[in-house]
Amino acid sequence: MEKKYSILLYYCYAKVEDFEAYREEHHLFCIENNLRGRIIISPEGLNGTVSGLKEDCEKYMEYVKSDSRFADTEFKVEPHDQMAFAKLHVRVKPEIVHSSLRHINPREKTGGYVEPEDFRKILEEQPEDTVILDVRSNYEHNVGRFKNALTLDIDNFRDFPEKVKELDHLKGKKVVTYCTGGIKCEKASAYLLEQGFENVYQLHGGIIKYGIEAEGKDFEGKCYVFDNRITADVNKVNPTIVSRCHITGEPTDRMVNCANPECNAHIPMSEEAGWLMDGCCSEECRNNPARRPYDGTGYYQKNTNHYNPIKGVKREPAKID
């Protein structure tokens, strides 16, 4: 049965001078077309995950590409059986992905693209002179990663430059980076080039595009995503489970956020353990009076005012009834 909804994942590095005005216009378009999701608009471009009916998502892609600044935006489109978000957030931020690499413009310098089918061959052959480098955070690669990939012990992408200092021994090798949708790799690969790595590439479109175009072969576990699904299936050829339940230690690829909002840790947790612990990672969190009601999903909507770090303006989250 054909799924009625789509989930769009995309980014585009482009100069945006009228970011406040464009935010208002962009926000209005999404409301008028019944779209939900998280969209970041910044002076350096766009980044978003959007969900809606298939036909509304098609209108949205046309709308984005109709602006000459974003004409070459590449959308990763996944069919889904329902909305992947409960609300719409369109925010202005200094960067489209939080990093400590604001000086890098991927339009000027970035690693070469490796298309999904070529990346699949690299995974199958595992050449000795090639390193597959995961540039995502711990909670992401702990639930899923490519076979034999090198992972980094980082809690946030902004910690990536510090970790690169530990990779000097790889400067003579071909380094192929990857992330969820490609956005982090644009800057990560550029930074590696800046630090003296000469043979640097990136998986074009990230894990999601690889799953769509190359069936996800040799991606172990699930892909952490930033919508209500929390994790998504990628591998249609040889799927495995690599993560273990935070409570029981049993294999599971089910991810939750701790129900204690003061913790909110991203952890693997089986369905049984989730109900046993009321969605919490520890007894301490379980006994916290601020604990949120657990509904079996481990996903919680934020209900906060949002601060515009460029203009210093607070605004209420946009809502769709």
**Marked catalytic residue, from 30, 179, 280, 285:** 179
Which residues lie closer than 8 Å to 301 by C-beta, 6 or more apart?
A: 86, 87
Catalytic site residue 281?
no
CA dist 143 and 150 (Å) reads 14
> Residue 199 is encoded by which pair of tokens?
């043979």
Cβ-contact 96, 42 below 8 angstroms: yes
Give the C-alpha distances (Å, rounded to integers) separating 121 from 113, 126, 143: 14, 8, 23
CA dist 225 and 64 (Å) reads 22
> Residue 4 is encoded by which pair of tokens?
């009625």
> In degrees rounded to 5, what are phi and psi of residue 171?
-65, -20
Q: Taking the alpha carbons of 251, 203, 170, 158 in that order, is the dihedral positive or negative?
A: negative
**Residues involved in catalysis:** 179
